[in-house]
Structure 1
Amino acid sequence: MKPTHIADCVRSNLETYLRDLGSSEPHSMYGMVVAAVEKPLLELVMQRADNNQSKAAQWLGLNRNTLRKKLLEHKLIH
């Protein structure tokens, strides 16, 4: 069985989203998709990095302060 790529999953879900909208126009799709993908990404990376923000930031290619800001935005830390 061929593995499913993340991009294929996103594309399929977006097609369903747009189809379900019918004649309504979408709104703020970019932010919706980024938030939907970003939170689980941060959760999984933080879990794998044993909640070490420096290590997680390095794995993600982010500055540690940027990671901390994103963790706060998604209410993954206080």
Structure 2
Amino acid sequence: MNAVRLPANESSKETSSQSALSECVSRTVRRYLADIGDTECDEGLHALVIREVEGPLLREVLAWHDGNQSRAAAVLGINRATLRKKLATHGLL
């Protein structure tokens, strides 16, 4: 894995223009990369992040909309059938 390490001052400049969510992801990925060092992620970092983020995202959006799958799907920008498939995949149905 070839991660680009930003100097501390560049890292803080980068986050000043990011959204709170983007800033949180950047910090978390940076910390994860520092923790694993040169160890490769078997499934690939992208797949790992998507797997780890999608379940909580679906759970929180669905809870925010009191379990209403149609409203949750609309907010997520996916159709209800896709939401149900993803909920099933993550064991959330």
TM-score, structure 2 normalization: 0.70
Give yes or no for the alignment of 1:38 onto 2:54: yes
- Cα shift at 1:32: 1.2
**Contiguous gaps of at least 5 residues in structure 2:** 1-15
Matches of 1:23 and 1:36, distance apart in 2: 21
SS of residue matched to 1:54: helix
Structure of greater Rg? 2
Q: Say whether the 8 Å CA contact 1:18–1:26 is kept in structure 2.
A: no
- Cα shift at 1:42: 0.8
Question: How many residues are paired up?
Answer: 75
Q: 1:15 corresponds to which residue?
A: 30
Structure 1: which 4+ aligned runs deviate by more than 4 Å? Answer: none
Q: What RMSD, in angstroms, separates the aligned Cα atoms of the two structures? A: 1.7
- Cα shift at 1:26: 3.0
Matches of 1:55 and 1:9, distance apart in 2: 26
Determine which of 17, 26, 35 is the counterpart of 2:41.
26
Matches of 1:67 and 1:32, distance apart in 2: 20
Matches of 1:25 and 1:45, distance apart in 2: 32
